[in-house]
Structures are given as C-alpha cells and as structure tokens.
Amino acid sequence: MRSLVRDYRRHKYLYLMILPVVLYYAIFHYAPMYGAIIAFKNYRIAEGFLGSPWVGFQHFINFFNSYYFGRLIKNTLLLNFYMLLFSFPAPIIFALLINEIGGRVFKRLVQTITYLPHFISMIVVCGMITQFVARDGFITDLLVMFGMERTALLGHPQYFRSIYIVSDIWQGVGWGSIIYLAAITGINPELYEASRIDGASKWKQTLHITLPGIAPIIVILFILKIGHMLDVGFDKIILLYNPNTYVTADVISTFVYRKGLGESNEFSYTTAVGLFQSAINFLLLIAANRFSKRVSENSLW
C-alpha cells in the first residue's frame, strides 16, 4: 500500500491522465454487467432486476435444446472461420505488397484509395452491396457473362457468406494494413542490406526478415480474433440478410437482436444467449493465448 501511495505521489499526473479512461470502462463496460443477472431470472420490467423471479439456468437449457442452437453456432463459426482464412491474412499480404512499391506518390495514392472504404458508413456500404448484387447489378452482370443465371444474389442463402467475406476484405484490407506497415517500418534496414549483399531475393527477404519481424503483431491480432470466434459484425448482417437467407446468415448476435427487441421482447432469454456467447469467447481467448505462449514467445499476457 505504501509503495502504491509513493508511486502515486511521484506520477500523480499520469494517474490523472488515465482516470477518464478508467471511469469510461467502469461506467459503460463494467457497471452494466450487473444487468446480466436477468439471464437467470424471468425478467419483468415492472418488477425490476431484483424483483423478478429466479429461474436458474432454464433459459440456457431452452437455448441449447432449441431448433436454432445448431444453426446459429454453425453459421457464426463458419463466418468467423472464413474471415480467419481470407480476411485476416488479406491486410498482411497487402502490407507486404505496399512495402515493395518504390514510388512514394503512387504508394500514398494506393494507400489512400484502399483506406477510403473504411470511412464509408455501414448503411451506405450495405446499400452499395445490395445494388451491386441485385438482379441488374454490375457484379451480377459480370457473373452472367461467365455463365451464371441472372438472379438477385442476396436472395439465395448459398451466396451470402461469399458476399459477406468479399465485401469485408474490400472494406477493411487498407485500414487493417496500417498496423502491419508500421511494424515493417520498425525492422532494422541493416538486415535487408546484409541480405542483399548475400544475394537474397525479395521473396527470401520477405520470408526470412519481414514476416519474422512482424510475427509478434500477427500473433497478437490472431489471438484477439480467436477471442471473437462467436462474435460476428451484427450491423452488416442485419442490413444484408432477409428471411430467405436465415439458414446461412443468421448468427448469434442477429438472433439476440431479433428475439430481444424485434419479435417477442424475450429479454432474459436473449441475455442468456449473449452471456453464453461472451463466456465461450473468453474461454477461446484464454486457450489461444496459452497455445501461443507454448509454441512461441508471443502472447497477450
């Protein structure tokens, strides 16, 4: 305790600087956790959190036994798996390619163009996607040229995941590459000079210098991504899907919204579903961090 007081006296201005951040998380992230108690109650607005009757794990059991459980888990995991397979490495590859561009003006132009989709409103992006893959959209026209039957792509469940992943790459590849480009600039240039003297090609420099240099960043972001394996972008899916595509597009977050605020206002049931999702994400994060610590020297903690 004395050491803490002594440290505060020596660095009191640093403590004051961090105070707004601590208050933000305490008020808006930790305090609302108290509301998770309704997952174990039959919540009634008139009776409040404490007055509503306890039901224990009944809402969790109902969710595990429901028709939607298997479909929601499958859709959520598949979308996240495809994002790990395609969306996650896309910024890394793009950063490596950008790093090889010699012209400074052209390099900045490419970076600016690829950053722009990140700043477009999600509603506008989804509106653009809907128009592009409509029956008379230009992407549909291109696919028709290759022999596909003309149809509205978002009306067919088998196309939803592909549309989601491709649009996710387009929207985030430029912005996601920033952190990797920053890591690349931190690599000692003398390593590249020594490799060139030894006759190493660009590919070998990338393989043996650049990738190992940014490996800690890749591992940390990968662990964080694993911690969201049961969490998919709610806003984009809710703007793109429809009852025809529920079979492949409906995920846990959209189900919680639909059941909690849309169809039946089942607050306790959907809170239980959301709590289950958060618990699994937390366990996955712990497991991914431990695995990374065992196979490498990089981890979150």
Rounded mean pLDDT, 280-286 = 89
189-223 per-position pLDDT tens digit: 899 889 888 888 888 999 889 999 999 899 989 98
Candidates 269, 230, 272; CA nearest to 253 is: 230
* φ/ψ of residue 54, rounded to 5: -75, 140
242-253 per-position pLDDT tens digit: 889 999 999 999
pLDDT over 90 (residue 298)? no
66-117 per-position pLDDT tens digit: 988 999 999 999 999 999 999 999 999 999 999 888 788 888 899 889 999 9
Mean pLDDT score of the chain, rounded to an integer? 89
pLDDT value at position 1? 67
Angle, in degrees to the nearest 10, between helices 122-132 and 138-145: 40
Is the separation of the CB atoms in 69 and 63 below 8 Å?
yes
Q: What proportions of the chain, in percent to the nearest 5, are helix, strand and coil?
A: 80, 0, 20
228-237 per-position pLDDT tens digit: 888 887 889 9
- Helix intervals (H) in 227-258: 234-240, 246-249, 252-257
Secondary structure class of 108 (helix, strand, coil): helix
Rounded mean pLDDT, 273-300 = 85
Task: Please state, in angstroms and rounded to a whole number, the distance separating the CA atoms of residues 173 and 90.
Answer: 6
- The residues with which 41 forms a beta bridge, in sequence order, are 54
